[in-house]
A and B are shown apart, each in its own frame.
Chain A
Amino acid sequence: QVQLQESGPGLVKPSETLSLTCAVSGYSISSGYYWGWIRQPPGKGLEWIGSIYHSGSTYYNPSLKSRVTISVDTSKNQFSLKLSSVTAADTAVYYCARQRSSARLDYWGQGTLVTVSS
C-alpha cells in the first residue's frame, strides 16, 4: 500500500521560506509517476502547487512559479517543497500526493498545517 507523509515546520515567519518534505513508502519514486504538492487555505478550496517527475522534470502552477521549487531525492524516497517569500496568504494545509500521467491524484498524505505568522 502506497503511503505518503508530510513533515516540516508548522510555523513560518513572513518573508521566510516554507520547506516541507514528503516521505513515500510502499512504492519507489524512481519507478515512475509524478509527485505533487497541493494546498488548502483554512475554509477554502484546493490549489495545485506543482509536481515533479521521478526523473526530475518539474511543473508549477503559474501563479506560484516564481516562488516554488520542488525537488526529489530518490535515495531517500522522498520529495520536497520550498516556497519562498511567504505571507499570511500562504497559510494552509499542505498535502503531498502521487500524480498519475492523466493528472489524477490517487494517493494523498494526511496533510500538514503551515501557519505564516511572526
Chain B
Amino acid sequence: QSALTQPASVSGSPGQSITISCTGTSSDVGGYNYVSWYQQHPGKAPKLMIYDVSNRPSGVSNRFSGSKSGNTASLTISGLQAEDEADYYCSSYTSSSTLVFGTGTKVTVL
C-alpha cells in the first residue's frame, strides 16, 4: 500500500487559516469516510485531532476541522496559533482492512 500524499510543509501567520491536503485513491480515502488526522510535536506521540473525516474528539479545539472531496481529504486550522506548530499526518482505512498514513506535513507558524 502506498502512503497518502501530503505537502511537505505549510506555513501561516498567527490568526490566519491554513489547509493541509491528503490525497489517496478510491481504495482508501475515496472509498471510506474513515480519514483521521494526527498532530505530533517533536519527541511526542501523535495526538488524534480529527476522525471519520470531520469529527473532533473531546478536548480538541474547534479551530481544527476536516473535510473530504473525492480522493482528497483536508485539514483546516483556523486562527493559527504558535502551539499549532507541529507535524500533521492523515490516515485512512483501506479496502484491504489495513490502515495507511500520509507522508506528513510540517506546519510552521511565521
Contact = CB atoms under 8 A, between A and B. Distances in A.
A45 B101 contact: yes
Contacts of B38: 46, 105
Nearest to B87: A45
A19 B107 CA distance: 34
Size bracket, chain B contacts:
20 to 34
Nearest to A109: B45
Contacts of A26: none
Interface in B1-53: 1, 3, 34, 36, 38, 40, 45-48, 51-52
A108 interface: yes
Interface in B46-96: 46-48, 51-52, 57, 89, 91-93, 96
A108 B47 CA distance: 8
A75 interface: no
A45 B104 contact: yes
Contacts of B99: 36, 48, 51, 99, 103
B96 A46 contact: no
Interface in A5-22: none
Given A103-B92, A104-B52, A106-B48, A60 B101 contact: no
B51 A104 contact: yes
Given A46-B40, A104-B52, 6 more contacts: A45-B3, A46-B91, A48-B91, A102-B52, A104-B91, A105-B91
Interface of A: 36, 38, 45-48, 50-51, 59-63, 95, 99-100, 102-106, 108-111
Interface of B: 1, 3, 34, 36, 38, 40, 45-48, 51-52, 57, 89, 91-93, 96-104
